Amino acid sequence: MRTHTRTPRSSFALPRLSRRAAAALLATGLAVALPACAGDPGAPAGEGGGTAESTAVTLVVHDSFGDPEAFSAAASAATGYDVEVVTAGDGGELTNKLVLTKGAPIADAFFGVDDTFASRLIDNGVVESFLPDPLPARAAELGAQLVPGHTGDAASVSAFPMIPIDLGATCMNIDSGWFAENDLTPPQSYEDLADARYRGLTVVIDPTASSTGAAFLTGTVAAYGETGYLDYWKRLVDNDVRIESGWTEAYNGQFTQGGEGGTHPVVLSYSTSPAWTLSEDGETSTTEALLGTCTTQIEYAGVLAGAANPAGAQAVVEYLLSPEFQATIPETMYMYPVDADIELPEEWERFAALPTEPHDLTPAQIGADRETWLKDWSDAVGW
Hey, where are the domains in the chain? 25-167+297-351, 169-296+358-381
Rounded to the nearest 5°, which phi and psi values hold at 87?
-105, 155
Which CATH entry fits the domain spanning 25-167+297-351: 2.60.120.10, 3.40.50.300, 3.40.190.10, 1.20.1090.10? 3.40.190.10
- Please name which of 308, 258, 246 lies closest in space to residue 91, comparing C-alpha atoms: 246
What confidence score (pLDDT) does residue 76 get?
98
pTM of the model: 0.80
- Please name which of 165, 160, 191, 203 lies closest in space to residue 297, comparing C-alpha atoms: 165
- Crossing angle between the packed helical segments 363-381 and 211-224, to the nearest 10 degrees: 100
Flag whether pLDDT at 78 surpasses 80: yes
For residue 298, the surrounding DSSP H or E stretch is strand 287-304
Q: How confident is the model at residue 29 (pLDDT cuts 50, 70, 90)?
A: very low
Residue 66 · residue 334 · CB < 8 Å: no
- Tell me how far the alpha carbon of residue 298 is from its chain's centroid: 5
Flag whether pLDDT at 39 surpasses 70: no
Distance CA 109, CA 365 (A): 25
CATH number for the segment(s) 169-296+358-381: 3.40.190.10
Residue 43 · residue 53 · CB < 8 Å: no
Flag whether pLDDT at 90 surpasses 90: no
Q: Which amino acid is present at 294?
A: C
Give residue-wise pLDDT tens across range 242-278.
999 988 899 999 999 987 889 999 999 999 999 999 9
Give residue-wise pLDDT tens across range 171-189.
999 999 999 999 999 999 9
**Among 230-234, 324-328, 331-335, whose mean pLDDT is lowest?**
331-335
Residue 216 · residue 204 · CB < 8 Å: yes
Ramachandran region, residue 140 (left: φ > 0; alpha: ψ -120 to 50; beta: rest): alpha
Ramachandran region, residue 9 (left: φ > 0; alpha: ψ -120 to 50; beta: rest): beta
Strand stretches in 78-162, DSSP E: 82-87, 109-114, 127-128
Residue 334 · residue 191 · CB < 8 Å: no
Give residue-wise pLDDT tens across range 327-383.
999 988 889 999 999 999 999 989 998 899 999 999 889 989 999 999 999 999 987
What confidence score (pLDDT) does residue 4 get?
44
Residue 231 CB neighbours (<10 A): 12
Go through the chain and tell me how many residues it has: 383
Flag whether pLDDT at 239 surpasses 50: yes
Give residue-wise pLDDT tens across range 189-219.
999 999 999 999 999 999 988 888 989 999 9
